[in-house]
Structure formats: C-alpha cells, structure tokens
A and B are shown apart, each in its own frame.
Chain A
Amino acid sequence: MLCYVALIVLGIMSLFSAKYRPLFKRALKCVFLKATLRPCDTGLDEELKAQSIAGIMKISPKAASFVNRHFQIFSTLFTITFFLSMIFTAQGLYNFYLYGNCNGLEGGFCIYSGIIGNNPSLLKPPADLQGITYGNQSANITVVEFGCYVCPYTRAAESDIKSLLAKYNNTIYFVYKPFPLPGHNNSKEAALAAYCANEEGKYWEYRALLFDNQQDVEANGTAALTGFASRLGLVNFTACYSSGKYMPEIQKLAEQGVSCGLYGTPTIFVNGQAFVGENAAKQADTRIGQLLSK
C-alpha cells in the first residue's frame, strides 16, 4: 500500500532532487504492477516497512513490535489518510484561489491565510457605519464593503454586490467605504467623483459607470469622470469635484480601513465577519443567509 504514498511523495521530491528519481521509478513500477493486478517485485514496500519499523524501534521497541504485527492495517490506514488529506488540501487550495479562504463560501479559519499572512478572521470590523449607505438602517444585519473603484477585484465582485442588495434589500443595511488603493491611478479621484454623484442622488448609476469603464478611469482620470457626470446630467458635479470637499472623508475612511487591517479589496464585513477578494460578496451572501435562518 505504501508505494502509492511513495509515488506521490517521491514524485514531488524528484522534481527538486535527482537523487529521489530512482526511488520514484521503483514506486511507479510498483504502482503499475499493482494496478495491473500483479505483485510488486521492486522491494520498495519491504524497504519502507523495514525503515518505518526501524525508526519506531529507536523510540519504542514495544510500539515497533505492535506496528510490525499490524503493519498491513497501519499502512492501509496511513495510505487512506494520506489520500484524504491530499484531496482536502487540493480542495482547500482550490477554494483559497477562488474565494480567498480554504473553506470556500463558508469562510472561517484557513491555514493558508495564516501562511501567507492574510487572514480575514484577523481583520477588525470598522468602528462606525460612515460611508455611502443603502437599505434598512434599523436592520439587524449590516454589510460594510471597503472597495476601490479602479480595483479589478472590486469590479469582479460588483455583480454579486448588486445581486446581494436586490436579494436582501431592506433586511440588511449596506455601507460602502471607499478604500482607494495607491497602486491604481485615479483611485482617490474616482472615490471623490462617486461622492459628488451621490450628492445629486445618482450614486449607483455613477458607480456602475465607474466599474463598466474602469480602464478609462485609470487612464484618463478627471476627463473620464467628468464625462460620466455629463452622461448622467449631474449639474453640480464640476464644482463639487473641483472643491475636493469629500477628500477628508475619503481619507478618513481609508485610514479606518488601514486600522481594520485591510490587505485587499473588496473586503466585506457582515456583522463584523470579514470576507476578502473577488468572491467576498458570494461569501457574504452565504453568511447573510445563515444569519437570517437563525
């Protein structure tokens, strides 16, 4: 049984060191023989058993004797456990890649987050609900999104945000807090422009234009932003935008995001529980569903 485990482990080790390749070839031959219902004649299983028992014997001769007597059971259990853990690891990596969390939409503790230093469960929820708001202020569920209008991940999550707002409407209170990323051009300008559009009651329309024309915003800045305002017929936009009167609030909310420990956008807090990445809205949707079903 152990040759199946050896095939995987030695296969990986062989990628990094040629000294493991002869052993890998033996494991491969052994697995091939077993897969074709022939006995493994490479001696690899025997070697692995002997080395395992010898290793255990150094610690406890009694344990070595026990394992030796039941080696077939132990090796079978070990092999099954190994492959199960491989499956779970692969699933976790897939979820981590897709959702930013190895538990997928469920969220919660994820060791990969800890390894790369980004762990949503360590984020602190914002202290207030200041920002651009939507929904029922007295709702029991608050959803706070930290986003950047020129961040591709925030844009990728936007359709899920829209679905989420349409789905839960007045059962939640939604707050958008701008978190302009310094790595993107015109991120602060876009946040300012959105505030100005909000002043004239056209926030969501303007927000849609920002995400739909994200590259234009990043490349052309004020020209693009002014153009969107014209398309929406905003009359006070230029004055508002030129004054920069919302910049202090944008700056304050960005600092709030930093104090929350944000490491990426979008970051969505559902009653304080954080979800990060382009699938954050999907995870938030699941979490809201759980909260409402209680």
Chain B
Amino acid sequence: MDIQKIRQDFPIFQKRQGLVYFDSACTTLKPRQVLEAQRAYNEEYSGCAGRSAHAIARQTSDAFEAAREKVAKFVNAKPESVAWTRNTTEGLNLVIRSLDYSKRNKIVTTKLEHHSVLLPIFEQRRRGIATTGIIETGKDGVVTEEACAKAIDRDTALVAIHHTTNTTGMRSPIEKIVKIAHDNGALVLIDGAQGVPHSKFDFQKSGADFIAFSGHKMLGPTGVGCLVGKPEAFENLDTFIVGGETIETVEMDKVVFMKAPKRFEAGIQNYSGAIGLGAACDYLSKIGMGDIEAHERKMAAELIGAISSIPGSQIYGTPDPAKRCGLASFNLKGVDKHQVALMCDSMSKIALRSGLFCAQPGMESMGAGKGAVRASLYLYNTPEEIKVFKDTLEKIAKLGS
C-alpha cells in the first residue's frame, strides 16, 4: 500500500499544502475517482432511475443499480439487501422506528452509542412504543459478552449497537452479540458508520440483521448512505417514508407496497451520491480493506504512543491499539479541548474535532463529560503527520503545565 500514491488521488492535498487531516471520523476526504464518477453523472447522463425510458434515464438506472451491487459486494451482501438512505442516521431511524414492537418491545443498546442510535430509541420510549435495556460498560468503554448476556432477554425485540465507536475507535464483539441476540429471538442492528469504512466487514458472516453506514465516512459523497438488511429482517419493518417508487399499485382505498429495499426508497434518489459511493467502494476494494485495516492499526499504535508521550494527556478507552481503529479521543491537562483543536489548526494545519462527538452519555460514562479532542485517521494519513501532530501537541501541552 503506497500512501504517497494514494495521497495523489486526493485533490485537497494539492490545494491545501500542509494539511494534516485527522478528522476522518467526522467525514473523509474524497478521491478524484469519486469526484469523477459524480461529475460524469451530473454532466453526461443526469437522468432519473426506474421511471423514464429514454437513454440517459436508462443509463442512470444502470449506474444506480451498479452502485448498489458495488456496495453489496463491498459488505458481502446481496444487492436486494441494500436500501439507499441519506446517511447512517436515517438507516438507524428507519429500523428503530419502523420495527414491529407488538410482540416484544425492548430495545437493548449501550451508553456508548452515537446520538443517532440513542435518540430514536429514546423517542420510541417516550411514545410508549418500546422500553430500553442498557448493556453496561466500564470506564474503559469495553463491551463484554457477559454484559450483553445480562441485558438481552426474551423481551428484547432489537439490539442496536455500534460496530466501532466514534469516541474511542473501539469495536464491539459483533458476532458474539449477534449470537446472544438471536438465541433470545431478537434482531440486531449495527451502527456501521465507523466500522464499515475501516475494516473488512462481511454482512453475511456477521449474522447481523441490519447494518447502517454512510458514504461520506468511506471516501464517498455526503448525503448518501445504506441500510443493509436480511430480506426476512426487512419484513419486520413497517413503511417509513413513502412516496414515488415505493409501491406496486395505488388505489384510493388500497396500496400495495414493493418489497424491500425499494419499499424504503421513496422519491427521487441521490443518484450522484450513490454512484459516487459505488466508486468509493471500488477505490477501497482496489486498495484492499485488509491492507487499509493493517495500515490503520499501525497508525493507531503510533497515534496512541504520540498522545501518551505528552505529559498531562489522558486517552479515553482502552490504551491497547490492537483493539482500536485509527482513532483516539483525549484531553490535555489545563488546556481546553476546543483550544487544543483550534491551536493545532492554527499552528500546523491539523484538522481535529473537539466536543462530545454526538455521544454525550458515552463520553460521560468514560469520564469525559466535558468533552475531548478527537484525532481520527484513514488510509491517507502518514507517520510523518503523526510526528507533526505530536510536536504540536507538545507545545500546546506546555500551556497547561
């Protein structure tokens, strides 16, 4: 894996010399291949799919469905398992808010989840539709098999859990959780926003019923994402947003909806985004997710080492780099989180995120209730950038000493 060659694919590195982009958990940079795929759609065949019969509409339909196939292949799922959404949040909402809770009404989750998981669950609870169960996690943010077994029971309709958290970069034991859930007759929804982009994910092998993820966190465009689900699991979901293309027939007193995933794709879709995401899947696959994961693991070790070496630093979650993707949240003693992030930007063009990362309960449970700084890496980051990051942090840390 030639990082310098990869970096040449990202126009932003040429346009912003010296940029150290450590905010890929928020959104990733876009390679030329993705931009070109979107440009081609917008300039050469900007039609709508599945409706009109003219040439550019047919070309759009073909490209749109080809993108679905690429995404399906990327996570080892069948194309008919892939429903387009706007983003991970929409996919998570779709499942949590559309699932049938008439026989079982408990939704199990952890405090570590992104608000996109927690808030739809809390909304179902507020409406009296579902109850909640929490898988307890320690201050280290580790999800254990025992805690899962304790929280998941026969009343559980759905287990909604992260593949990888956006606060620590740590992974859940997905396959073990799926087994416990299925043994109890519950469905499993995975928040794959931080997992799918950074590791080889096999949907069929995982056994999960649903996984939601976003295009923009895996080199694709913003405004497009996917909900991947087992066909039989989709049958448990009621309609969500309805409109054009979701139906077989409409009469004034009777509506017959299409099968999933089309049932969940109301209205004109984000064709440019979907095609761009397809191109992103091609790009990542060509490099190889195994190599990307290995690169990130190596970089994670350097990142953790760099932050740990700063006097007064505190990293949240387990310090073991092997259990993380290239992401670390931390604080420096005596220097405000936002100041650290802003100064890194001002001094060395390092893009970081600071705050609670849309995961307030999770941050509080790890003792970071006032927020932290987050550095999140991807395939285009280099050890030299981590050196720049370390040098800058060392200077900033002295402000608090």
Residues of A within 8 A of B (CB): 43, 46-47, 49-51, 53-55, 57-58, 61, 64-65, 68-69
Contacts and interface: CB of A to CB of B under 8 A. Distances in A.
A43 B343 contact: no
Given A46-B336, A57-B347, A51 B342 contact: yes
A57 B391 CA distance: 13
A117 to B, nearest CB: 40
A54 B346 contact: yes
A64 B399 contact: yes
B395 interface: yes
Contacts of A55: 346
Closest 9 CB pairs of A and B: A50-B342, A54-B346, A68-B399, A46-B338, A50-B343, A54-B347, A54-B343, A50-B339, A51-B346
A50 B399 contact: no
Given A50-B343, A50-B346, A51-B346, A57 B395 contact: yes
Interface residues of B, number: 13
Nearest to A64: B399
B343 A53 contact: yes
Contacts of B346: 50-51, 54-55
B398 A65 contact: yes
Contact of A61 (B335, B338, B342, B395): B395
Most chain B CB neighbours (cut-off 10 Å) among A54, A55, A69? A54
A56 to B, nearest CB: 10
Contacts of B335: 68
Most chain A CB neighbours (cut-off 10 Å) among B336, B343, B395? B343
Contact of B399 (A43, A46, A58, A65): A65
A126 B342 CA distance: 62
Nearest to A67: B399
14 contacts: A46-B342, A47-B342, A50-B342, A50-B343, A50-B345, A50-B346, A51-B346, A53-B343, A57-B395, A61-B395, A65-B399, A65-B401, A68-B335, A69-B399
Contacts of B343: 50, 53-54, 57
A246 to B, nearest CB: 72
Contacts of A47: 342
Given A50-B343, A57-B347, A43 B398 contact: no
Nearest to B335: A68
B339 A49 contact: yes
Contacts of B338: 43, 46, 50
